[in-house]
């Protein structure tokens, strides 16, 4: 049974929260839940993401290949997504910790591009705000992410890579 971990941050101290959507094992579809219904709510600092994922995976007996990590990636243009079966942390401290705690870089992930602005200082960027345009783009990406998660649960990471790795929302899409 796959699990989906959403790893987000606004600054270094934002917790991970796995909530609102879980997979129904019987139908292999996603369903909305309330916090009271949640089986697990992982809350750790972003840089310690691996602790929560390791504990949830261990408790439920979930293999690394069935953990789907979703996170922001500053090396991808805002609106671009990239799905991978495995890979390095690419400088992302939360992913570094997940790789360390799972003792492997083999776990599916969905990277959501949040900038291609390499001129801005990383700390200023991470602690800053998105522009209105970027927020509109990321809202459309979030809507597509629901489909991607559902397809991951039903069909696996390879299917998602083939179907979605060319997906990108641009400014033209929001006007």
Q: How many residues are recorded in the chain?
A: 175
Strand 67-73 and strand 106-113: pairing? parallel
Strand 21-24 and strand 29-32: pairing? antiparallel
pLDDT in tens, 59-102: 778 889 988 888 888 889 999 999 999 999 988 888 999 999 99
* Global pTM value: 0.76
pLDDT in tens, 139-170: 899 889 888 988 888 899 999 999 999 999 99
Coil, strand or helix: which one is 87? coil
Say whether pLDDT at 4 is over 70.
Answer: no
């Amino acid at each position: 049974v796959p699990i989906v971990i959403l790893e987000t941050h606004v600054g270094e101290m934002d917790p991970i929260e796995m909530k609102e959507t879980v997979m129904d094992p019987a139908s292999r579809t996603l369903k909305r839940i309330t916090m009271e219904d949640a089986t697990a709510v992982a809350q750790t600092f972003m840089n310690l993401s691996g602790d929560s994922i390791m504990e949830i995976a261990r408790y439920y007996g979930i293999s690394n290949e069935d953990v789907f990590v979703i996170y922001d990636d500053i090396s991808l243009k805002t609106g671009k997504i990239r799905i991978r079966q495995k890979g390095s942390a690419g400088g992302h401290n939360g992913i570094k910790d997940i790789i360390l705690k799972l003792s492997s870089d083999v776990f599916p992930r969905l990277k959501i591009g949040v900038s291609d602005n390499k001129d801005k200082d990383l700390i200023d960027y991470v602690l800053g705000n998105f522009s209105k345009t970027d927020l509109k783009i990321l809202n459309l990406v979030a809507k597509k992410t629901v489909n991607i998660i559902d397809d991951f649960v039903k069909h696996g990471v390879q299917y998602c890579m083939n179907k979605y790795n060319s997906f990108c929302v641009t400014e033209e899409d929001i006007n």
